[in-house]
Structure 1
Amino acid sequence: MKYKRIFTIVIDSFGVGAMYNAKEYGDEGTNTFAHIDENMDPFIIPNLMKLGLGQIQKPVHAIINENPIGYYGKMNELSVGKDTMTGHWEMMGLHITEPFITFTENGFPEELIHELEKQTGHIVIGNKAASGTEILNELAAQEIQSNAKKMIVYTSADSVLQICGNEEIMGLDELYRCCQIARDITMKPEWKVGRVIARPYIERDGQYIRTSHRHDYALSPFNKTVLDLLKENQKDVIAIGKIEDIFNGNGITQSYHSNSSIHGMEQTLEVMKKDFTGLCFVNLVDFDAKWGHRRNPVGYGKELEAFDCKLELVLNELKEDDLLIICADHGNDPTHTGSDHTKEMVPLMMYSPSMKESSPLEIQDSFGTIGMTILENFEIPKLSFHIGHSILKNLV
């Protein structure tokens, strides 16, 4: 075992350039990092630059560190699709060959909506693709006036069914109950969305504010992941943010819910004070949910600057036998058309205080590089269906 603790931090949606097949997804020319950088002047992210981000993608305004530490490069996604579950499952060894079903064009089928109304006792309004802020501005007042007899159902470019509920009128327990019903209904093959998401909100002075009590009801991975193997081999698997939701609890030994990306980094710093052997797996969703989908490059850039400040603390806390991995699960170029994720390569930055060298990495052919490197570190054999290869031997 080379490293006792591995910290893998996913900057949700932080792409670094269109993939070779981006045209198939309507994403030619996308580059989340480069286009954020173009809109930020100055752009103060010295710790990401220290880890080699400037060598991965040359910036205009962020200042390149000419002597980066650790190892750095890009990863392609082998699986089809460009959603959160696909990206994270691939990191942990699974190859997704069929994309999750989406209902972006026409909303959900009448039969599905009828069944949802019948089982929940609520009248569905919405039933279309929309952003979370748009749908609340359009329909929240109607839901509130109905005293929660109506509930807002919507989707996005992702494979999701989302239900909005006012925390103070519908209540969290009722919202979660309805989402569990929706999850059960959408287990039918023709309706099988990747996630059902509870989207609670409150109303204050005419403004509709989403709260931190979001809850995802995801599909379980279709086969064993790296997380399962770590747990089976008595290693700790500590999940921060929405990691537990993404894997539907499978392979997790301990989980922390985050209220924000900054909170997620603070939780990571707390976990770093603990003595454990295994993986701390972190997802920081604000980059995607607050800024990428809402096409706000400056907001995204400021979030990266705040993250960078916390990253400095993480780097200072690393022990000699710790490994830090920073990556992303897909792109979400805030200057692109629409509000969908973008099919991009993602960064791979790896660092340990014990490293004696620093070097660029070859472009990896799948996100599975991460999971396979973790498995080899803990001397756990990969399974026959796992994709990716370990680069542990490259980390010197």
Structure 2
Amino acid sequence: MPRAILCILDSFGIGGAPDAADYGDEGANTLGHIAANYQISLPNLDALGLGAAARLSTGEVPRGLSEVPQGGRFGVGREVSKGKDTPSGHWEIAGVPVPFDWGYFPQTEPTFPPDLIAHLIERSGIPGILGDRHASGTTITAELGEESIRTGKPICYTSIDSVFQIAAHETHFGLERLYHLCETAFELTAPLRIGRVIARPFVGENASNFKRTGNRRDFAIPPPEPTLLDRANTAGRQVYALGKISDIYAGHGVTHKMKATGNMALFDRTLEAMEMAADGAFIMVNFVDFDQEYGHRRDIPGYAQALETFDARIPELISRLRPDDLVIFTADHGNDPSWRGSDHTREQVPILAFSPTLGPGTIGIRPTFADIGESIARWLGLAPGKHGKSFL
């Protein structure tokens, strides 16, 4: 029975979204601008059709890539959900476009409603909060981390996405205490349609060595209807959720949850999951470092080098595919490291599908990310969902 592996390169957009101007992102192009500023080499992704997909998306082939794929199916995914955040992209990839508008916090300072913070303080017993503004997580942790340790006040911040984030020291504040605090915040923000509350634990003793850990936890609003994960689970299939995947779907449909810190550790866990997965299994992994470590930090060389490191390991994964296995490489949104600000960018994404039994060709520009989920459903022999159409 066929298996499917879905690899999401978090934030790896390829430009060209027709509604990018509505989000202030007209001209954003994560891959294109990385390639324009760094002599990038991605021979394996390119052989699967990355350069050809980029040309399909924007009309141009990024420097260092070609437009002649050597195997598999290639194409472009276009998001229909409103937003450019993680839940929207992931839910739609799994066959469920977001049918409502997310709630967002204003770009004012302070940012959060006073009654929300007052209730959070009262219910959790914390002495107060720090931050209360839009910020980059690493920047605000470096700025306020020492004060947080000294006062016992967690750092609360947000971004242009529908998110409430809380950073606190793993030992001085306490990891479990941070999780409980985020659970309380999630209850308080849910009526505002805030998509996620994220626990951002860090370690270190001063601004020079603060580092966020792999114990991040997302408390997320569940999808409004069954996703591909639920459908596979209901059919009795194994569903492996690697990285932050389980959190994004509020644990729904997941049978095996696997965590790791860093892209390469996640790649290792993906290979482990492939060794363990039974016939008919679905493996889904999010490679978060592209977004978290390089996109948001506007680090072009770091993003490029992370892509090259990832690309070099693709042959390992392909060599472990069974004859009827399918692997798809895609993304959930963009995060152009050359763009203004530090937030996601509204872009189209590559869809690169490969199987030893799948002939080469183009799948064109897909009108919704949901086509990815429906293609996997068809490959696995699952009943079709309500949104999207298979390209396989």
Q: Confirm or deny a common fold (TM above 0.5).
A: yes
Within 1, Cα distance between the matches of 2:28 and 2:78? 14
Q: What secondary structure does 1:169 align onto?
A: helix
Matched, 1:154 2:157: yes
1:2-28 CA-to-partner distances (Å, cap 9, x unmatched) read x61100000000001131111111000
What's the secondary structure of 1:370's corresponding residue?
helix
Instruction: Give the match's secondary structure for 1:128.
Output: strand
Using a 3 Å threshold, how does the CA distance of structure 1 residues 131 and 206 change in structure 2: closer, same or farther? Answer: closer
Deviations 1:56-82 (A, max 9, x none): 125444243735210001011011111
Cα RMSD for the two superposed structures: 1.4
2:143 pairs with one of 133, 138, 146:
138
2:48 maps to a residue whose letter is L
- Asked if structure 2 preserves the Cα contact closer than 8 Å seen for 1:52 and 1:349, the reply is yes
Match 1:351 to one of 351, 354, 369 = 354
Contact (CA 8 Å) 2:61, 2:67: kept in 1 or not? no
Aligned match of 1:114: 118
1:18 and 1:27 in contact (8 A); partners too: no
Map 1:302-313; keep pairs closer than 5 Å: 302-313=305-316
Residue deviations 1:143-174 (CA, integer Å, cap 9, x gap) = 1111x1x1111111111111111112001011
CA–CA distance in structure 1, aligned partners of residues 377 and 212 of structure 2:
38
Unpaired segments ≥5 residues, structure 1? none
For 1:326-341, what aligned pairs fall within 5 Å after superposition? 326-341=329-344
Q: Describe the SS at the equivalent of 1:171.
A: helix
- What residue in structure 1 maps to residue 23 of structure 2? 25
Which residue of structure 1 aligns with residue 364 of structure 2?
362
1:202 aligned onto 2:206: no
Structure 2 SS opposite 1:336: coil
Q: Distance in 2 between matches of 1:55 and 1:376?
A: 25
How does the TM-score come out when normalised to structure 1? 0.93
What is the percentage of aligned positions where both structures have the same residue? Answer: 38
Q: Which amino acid aligns with 1:201?
A: F
Instruction: Provide the rounded CA distance (Å) in 1 between the counterparts of 2:292 and 2:332.
Output: 13
Distance 2:337 2:273 in 1: 32
One-letter code aligned to 2:270: T
Q: Is the 8 A contact 1:37 1:59 kept in 2?
A: no
Task: Name the structure 1 match of 2:11.
Answer: 13
Is the alpha carbon distance of 1:204 and 1:59 closer, same or farther for their aligned partners in structure 2, counting shifts above 3 Å? Answer: farther
Find 1:294's aligned residue among 297, 305, 316: 297
1:274 aligns with 2:276: yes
SS at match of 1:271: helix
Partner residue, 1:318: 321
Q: 1:48 aligns with which of 45, 50, 54?
A: 45
Amino acid at match of 1:20: P
CA deviations 1:206-230 (Å, max 9, x no partner) are 4221111111111111111111111
Equivalent residue number for residue 57 of structure 2: none
Give the direction of change, closer, same or farther, for the CA distance of 1:205–1:195 in structure 2 (3 Å limit): closer
1:387 aligns to 2:384 (yes or no): no
Could you tell me which amino acid in structure 1 is paired with residue 204 of structure 2?
A: E
**Partners of 1:372 and 1:390 within 8 A in 2:** yes
In the TM superposition, residue 380 of structure 1 has moved relative to its aligned partner by: 2.6
Kept in 1, the 8 Å contact 2:31–2:62? The answer is no
CA distance in 2, matches of 1:104, 1:62: 40
Alignment partner of 1:74: what SS? strand
1:176 maps to 2:179: yes
Instruction: Output the CA distance in 2 between the equivalents of 1:86 and 1:60.
Output: 27
Describe the superposition over 1:112-166 as per-residue Cα deviations: whole angstroms up to 9, x where unpaired: 00000101111111111100111112211111111x1x11111111111111111
Higher mean C-alpha displacement, 216-225 vs 374-383: 374-383
